[in-house]
Amino acid sequence: MGLNRSQFNKIRNIIDQRKLRNQQNHYQRKETVYGLFPELKTMDQRIAALSSGATRKIIENPTDKDRIMSVLKSEIQEISAKKSALLEANGYPEDYLKPIYDCALCEDTGYVDGERCRCLINEILKFSYGQSNLAHIMQEENFDTFDLTYYSDQSPDSNQESPREIASLNYKTCYDFAVNFGKEYNNLILYGQAGLGKTFLCNSIAKEVLDRGFSVIYLTAFQLFRLIETYRFHNGDDQVSYEDIQALHDCDLLIIDDLGTEVNNAFTTSELFSIINNRLLTEKPIVISTNLDPKGWTQHYSDRIVSRIIGHYLSLGFVGSDIRVQKKFR
């Protein structure tokens, strides 16, 4: 999943606290009705005694297990029916004394037959959505809502593809990258002028990858380098943890939006190279969006960075008219 031990323990703690809360509520219910109707406590004690007795009988005579269990089941059903009738007669639901679970599938353990239950997976997804910094926009910007009609279907000349054809191919490449994530190793760099859908497709990739159970961290270039700078030089109050920085290297997918808008200096160049190189060595994918074209990459970044991008990233160029402007006047 790409979560470190500390992050996973936080999620497990949510499940454990949920289970503890339900156990406490169950105990309080029993204490309340036992005080009002002592015969209910006697019935539960009788069920416990019957179960214990059946276990002893099976140990003494294992070949008679089926008959013993059949008798036990019949006796428990009879007592349970009396319990339900007493509860209902006094205004309580018949299942009032049954254990309480948020997730009946795993009984709040987080696992079913040794596999992660859907409730635990959902908590991991919720955590990952928050970590990705995209929770508020991914419902609007995803592969299902990408609109090719914002791109012209007119080619500049007969030898060139139209902006719509280019956008369609870029969409397919991004979609394939997302749906095959974890099966194939690739990196992407989306480049072109502002307002052509690069960030939209980055958001779409993030949502699809998150929904498939992988961890994603999404940062603008400014946020990325501010995070690292704070950790390195201004972290007196521990605003940024070691785990926050390590996650940039360990998360399943790192998305860097608007690369090239950050202050370009020796520090940012060094840190960018470190992230790109380390993730290449461990085959942890990166998706980059930038307004810089390939010529601009060579002007802004070192040969070491550009060489790795050209050699290990699929480059997707975008052309067309600013979609934000089109939306404003549609």
> Which residues of the chain, if any, have pLDDT below 70?
1-4, 125, 128-136, 235-239, 329-330
Cα–Cα distance for residue pair 89/109, rounded to 1 Å = 33
Q: Are 287 and 255 in contact, with CB atoms under 8 Å apart?
A: yes
Q: Are 160 and 285 in contact, with CB atoms under 8 Å apart?
A: no
The model carries a pTM of: 0.66
Cα–Cα distance for residue pair 154/175, rounded to 1 Å = 24
Q: What is the pLDDT of residue 117?
A: 83
DSSP per residue, 165-194: HHHHHHHHHHHHHHHTBTTB---EEEESST
Question: For residue 195, how many other CB atoms are within 10 A of its CB?
Answer: 19
Q: What is the pLDDT of residue 1?
A: 41
Name the amino acid, one letter, at 31: E
Q: What is the pLDDT of residue 8?
A: 80
Name the amino acid, one letter, at 102: D
